[in-house]
Every structure is written in C-alpha cells, then in structure tokens.
C-alpha cells in the first residue's frame, strides 16, 4: 500500500489497480471510502471499457476482441513512478495479456494530489501504437453513506448537480447493466436534486444524461460533511449502489465513455462516448474531490 497525506486528509492506494482504498478525514477521524464486504472494491479505475460489453466482446477494424466488464486496468499492478508526501503517480502499460484484449501499445498514468481538503485525480493516456486507439475511461469511487461519524440514514442524503437544471435526465437502462439507447427523465429528481433512497437503484445504475455539468455533490441538510466532485473533463457521471439491497454506500463515477447499448458487440471506433486517440497522442483529464 502507498500512502499520501497532508494536514486534512490521509489517502491509501493499492498498487493493484492504483485503487484508492481509504480517504481519512483527520479532524473527525472517519473514512470517506467504502470498505464493506457486500461490494469488495473501493474506487477502481475503469479502462479501456466502461460497463459490460455485449457478449463480453467488441469489434475493431472488423475483428472481434474479448473484453471483461469495466476493462482490465483494475486487475493489474501499477508501477509507482513519482512519490511525495502529498502526491503519487502510478503507471500501467500494455503487456502480452492486455494485447489480446486491446491490440494497442499504451501508457495509462494516474496522479493523486492532495490540496487542503481536496484530492485531485489526474489521468494521462498515451497511444504508443500506429493506429487510432478508441477507449473509455472512468473513475468508480464508493463512498460511505451515511458518512462515518454521521448518525443518519442513507435517505437523509441527496445528490445535487451544478449548474442547476430544470429536470434531471438519465440514460435508460435495460436490461441492466446495458443502455437502451434512449434518454428519459429521472423522475425521482426534483430539479437539480436527487433525494437518495435505495429503491431508486433497484433497476440498476443511474447515468445522468444532462450535459454541461460542472460538479456533483453528496450532502445532507443534517450534516456538516459533504463530498463534491468536479466534472468539467468528464461528460457523464454515474450513480450506483447495490440493487435490491440496503448497503450503506454510494458510488459517484465520473465517466469519459458509456456502457454498451444492448444488442450485438459494438464497434469501438463509432461507439457513443468513446475517446479516439491518434497515434502518438495524449489524452489528459482530471477531477477534484472536495471532502469536508
């Protein structure tokens, strides 16, 4: 495990998956990150796929390749390449196993940087191949709800997006975890706010479809603690907790990419939401968690 910290926060990162496993708020000594047993992950990085692929496959240049749910980046050990008291950078590169699933030479780096009560997560993807490289990239942090230290219930919290919207919308899911291809109203929403209930997630994940969002916040009128994520570099954000359960956590997931529309394996060069990177080019994206 790697650890970074400052006056406000202490963060632990597992080199497998470069996954955050704890974010400790020092003042009140509680952990923002889920560490329960019902969902055994904490904050995986999703690359080069988001969600499950139809038939666990995709199409590229008229060839079919296997692809596991959410890609493979979360399953490999990453290499630390820079480390300081309040920051760390880890890198994953292609290997013989990844080339079977994703026929590209690539470099994927993540930097975690603390700044006061903020954790900044920055990604860099480099296409070291000679062909166009399509991919999706997402962050999947799970947060304790209620936040440790709050004597509240899941339903005492709400999600609020910025800027304000007249109606929250979502990508319709069906069958879960695939999309139908339609955008519909998120009927449980009230303007820019979604009150949290476990029943809201019984049909699966919620991918907010409103465009131009700059931030999303988890808070309660009854608590001084909150989590806010910036979204300028990520056009989609997903909310998820376990279906038909009452586990006390919520994932808030900035995505640059989308799950498949249900049907046949998808051509990644034309798939909605994918990033396409020219040979020798770089993609950079970041978001900030404000953790109070």
The full set of domains in the chain, from first to last, is: 2-291 (2.70.98.10)
What average pLDDT score do residues 44-64 get? 97
List of E strands, 62-214: 63-66, 79-83, 87-93, 106-115, 118-127, 133-135, 137-139, 142-144, 158-162, 169-173, 179-185, 193-195, 206-208
End-to-end CA distance of the chain: 24
pLDDT of residue 225: 96
CA-based angle 106:108:109, to the nearest 5? 145
Q: Tell me: the pLDDT tens digits for 185-219?
A: 999 999 999 999 999 999 999 999 999 999 999 99
Whole-number Å distance between alpha carbons of 206 and 212: 17
Instruction: Give the residue-averaged pLDDT of 179-184.
Output: 97
Q: How far apart are CA 225 and CA 289, in angstroms?
A: 13
Q: Give yes or no for residue 51 having a pLDDT over 80.
A: yes
Under the banding of pLDDT at 50, 70 and 90, the label for residue 14 is very high
How confident is the model at residue 149, as a pLDDT? 76
Q: Which of 46, 35, 52, 38 is nearest to 1 (CA)?
A: 35
pLDDT digits (tens, 9 = 90+) for 142-154: 999 999 878 999 9
Task: Report which of 86, 32, 85 is spatially closest to residue 251, judged by C-alpha positions.
Answer: 32
Please say whether the beta carbons of 15 and 2 come within 8 A: yes
Burial of 269 by CB count in 10 Å (0-12 exposed, 13-18 middle, 19+ buried)?
A: middle
Distance from C-alpha of 138 to C-alpha of 159, rounded to nearest angstrom: 19
């Amino acid at each position: 495990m790697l650890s970074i910290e400052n006056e406000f926060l202490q963060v632990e990162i597992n080199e497998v998956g470069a996954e955050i496993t704890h974010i400790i708020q020092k003042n009140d000594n509680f952990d923002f990150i889920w560490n329960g047993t019902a969902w055994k992950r904490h904050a995986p990085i999703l690359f080069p796929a988001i969600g499950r692929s139809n038939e666990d496959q995709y199409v590229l240049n008229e060839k079919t390749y296997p692809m596991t749910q959410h890609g493979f980046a979360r399953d490999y050990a990453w290499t630390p390449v820079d480390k300081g008291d309040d920051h760390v950078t880890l890198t994953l590169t292609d290997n013989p196993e990844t080339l079977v699933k994703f026929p590209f030479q690539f470099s994927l780096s993540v930097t975690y940087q603390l700044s006061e009560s903020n954790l900044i997560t920055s990604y860099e993807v480099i296409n070291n191949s000679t062909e166009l490289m399509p991919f999706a990239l997402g962050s999947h942090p799970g947060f304790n709800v209620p936040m440790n230290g709050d004597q509240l219930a899941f339903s005492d919290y709400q999600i609020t997006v910025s800027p304000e919207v007249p109606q929250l919308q979502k990508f319709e899911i069906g069958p879960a975890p695939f999309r139908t291809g339609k955008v519909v109203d998120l009927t449980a929403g009230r303007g820019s706010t979604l009150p949290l209930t476990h029943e809201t997630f019984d049909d699966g994940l919620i991918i907010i479809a409103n465009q131009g969002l700059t931030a999303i916040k988890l808070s309660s009128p009854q608590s001084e603690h909150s989590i806010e994520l910036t979204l300028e570099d990520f056009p989609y954000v997903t909310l998820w907790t376990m279906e038909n359960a009452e586990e006390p956590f919520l994932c808030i997931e900035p995505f640059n990419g989308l799950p498949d529309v249900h049907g046949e394996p998808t051509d990644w060069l034309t798939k909605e939401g994918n990033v396409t990177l020219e040979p020798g080019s770089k993609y950079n994206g970041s978001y900030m968690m404000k953790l109070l």
